[in-house]
Amino acid sequence: MIFPQLFNKMHLIFYLRMDGGFGINPNSSISQLENIFANPFRQQKPKSDSDVEAKAFALPPMGPEERAMMTLMENCAVKAIITSVLGAGMGIAFGLFTASMDPSFAVSKDPSKPLTLRETWTEMRTRMRNYSRQFASIGLMFSGTECLLETVRAKSDWKNGTFSGAIVGGILGFRAGLKPAILGAADFKRLSLGNAYQGRQWICHLTDEESTSYFSESKGGEWIHPCTCSGTMKWVHRGCMGTWLDSAPYQQRYQCTLCNYYYRLTWRIRPLIYWRFPRFNLTFWDKVEITFDVFYTYYAIRSVINVFTNQAKSLFRSVPFLASWYFFVANDRRFDFYRRLFIIFISTFLETTVRNAI
């Protein structure tokens, strides 16, 4: 397409002489020649990676509805209400679990006698109502306090959740006295700090010279891009990535929390001198969930055995319990959790190498 346009413009400047040569049209100028010959073949300045990435990740401007929805979701009252509703749902599930294990708590009757259908439903409803109320109140206070602290401090970091946990724990414990308030504040603060620690991400702090001297015995100074993140999170030293995988929480050892990309890992046997004890790095909530799964699974197995041996006190109580076990324990998330724990366990004698992302 360039050459026909160029030929059409050239006849305005050049003309064919009688002797077979070319002459220049006096009406033309040097600037016209430069424009004709330079513009079609002028090289464009190559775009930098930052320009390409900025254009690729550029978002369209938000409309008034999206802006209003974002403002609504940032409201402290809305956050507190949403957290309260989620806490109530967790309390209902926990109440159903405890009612299935100990069905004679809320019914003032001889526990040795089997419960009727109405008594079983009354007991389950009482448990679920009590636990949902408690979990909802804790979620409401924690989320509201954290949002208020974030608004006052004008920062969003780990301190907001830690301080709000201490405040909520102190308020809950103050009903029993000053000492329980102090202990409750310390426990909730430790729990909130552990949850905030879960959100960390690997960051490389070494320069090329430092990495060469630091990883002199191996290829740890090599730059790799283990995930599809861009910007400062794209590149990391292989040795820094290996150090991070050894100390990271289990969720972040195999998947990036920013781009959700699963790392490409290769396994090989460690030298015998580098064998070690597994580093699970479980948080408080991880231990609670494991305990919950063990007891839930134990009572689910016992409930199934009682149903087939006709020893179940109430089939109505066993069916919802097994359904809740299937929903909360026998799901893909929990299976993936235990699969990763198994991988961490075999890392005692196996080591992983991260390859570049595709």
Segments making up each domain of the chain, as ranges: 2-41, 69-198, 202-358
The span from the first CA to the last CA of the chain, in angstroms, equals 37
Alpha-carbon distances, residue 77 vs 71, 81, 86, 162, 237 (angstroms): 12, 6, 14, 20, 44
pLDDT for the residue numbered 109: 56
86, amino acid identity: L
pLDDT score at 33: 45
pLDDT of residue 115: 65
Long-range contacts of 196-200, Cβ-Cβ distance < 8 Å, separation of 24 or more = 196/158, 196/161, 196/162, 197/158, 197/249, 197/283, 198/249, 198/251, 198/283, 199/158, 199/257, 200/248, 200/252
Q: Helix, strand or coil for residue 108?
A: coil
109 sits in the region (left: phi over 0; alpha: psi -120 to 50; else beta) called: beta
Cα separation of 262 and 298, whole Å? 33
Tens place of pLDDT for every residue, the chain, 358 residues? 444 444 444 444 444 444 444 454 444 444 444 444 444 444 444 444 444 444 444 456 767 887 778 777 778 888 888 888 888 888 888 887 777 666 555 455 555 666 666 777 777 888 888 888 888 888 888 888 888 888 888 777 777 778 888 888 888 888 788 887 888 788 777 766 655 554 444 556 555 555 555 554 455 567 888 888 877 677 887 777 777 776 676 667 778 877 888 888 887 887 888 787 777 778 778 888 888 888 888 888 888 887 777 665 566 667 777 888 888 888 888 888 888 788 788 878 887 778 888 7
Predicted pLDDT of residue 29:
46
The reported pTM is: 0.45
The DSSP string of 114-135 is PPPHHHHHHHHHHHHHHHHHHH
Specify the pLDDT at position 39.
44
pLDDT at 313: 58
351 in helix, strand or coil? Answer: strand
- Residue owning tokens 């009682």: 306
Closest by CA to 165, choosing from 176, 173, 155, 154, is 173
Which secondary-structure segment (H or E) carries 148? helix 117-153
pLDDT at residue 303, rounded to an integer: 80
